[in-house]
């Protein structure tokens, strides 16, 4: 029973899968890399007419995005608490008005009776 009490807090966080990144971080890096690969392949297709390179550029972009982005994230996340950059991104989105997750109010708080 003591084992369950000691390890229960470890279940709540995502496990590290590759280069210090969790599954959601790897997925977001892969999506960004794939979009960059598609953009590069469309530009390459417009210039040279080699449209069959769209699919290989997509996969190469996703691989490079995960590998290079994972290395960059590993160095950026060093010494930061769990979920630090996720909270920074959510705070920025809340400041921009895209998401309403945080209370952003300046002024005095009062309780009226």
Q: How many CB atoms lie within 10 A of CB 113?
A: 3
Q: How far apart are CA 73 and CA 19, in angstroms?
A: 8
pTM listed for this prediction: 0.68
pLDDT digit string, tens, across residues 2-32: 555 666 566 677 777 888 888 888 898 999 9
Domain ranges of the chain: 16-80
Share of the chain above pLDDT 70, in %: 86
- For 76, residues 6+ apart whose C-beta sits below 8 A from its C-beta are 85
């Amino acid at each position: 029973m003591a084992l369950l009490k000691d390890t229960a807090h470890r279940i709540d966080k995502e496990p590290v899968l590759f280069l210090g990144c969790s599954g959601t971080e790897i997925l977001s890096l892969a999506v960004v890399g794939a979009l960059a690969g598609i953009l590069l392949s469309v530009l390459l297709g417009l210039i040279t007419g080699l449209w069959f390179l769209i699919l290989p550029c997509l996969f190469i972009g996703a691989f490079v995005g995960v590998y290079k982005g994972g290395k960059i994230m590993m160095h950026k996340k060093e010494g930061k608490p769990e979920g630090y950059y996720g909270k920074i991104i959510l705070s920025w989105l809340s400041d921009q008005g895209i998401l309403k997750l945080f209370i952003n109010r300046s002024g005095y708080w009062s309780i009226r009776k």
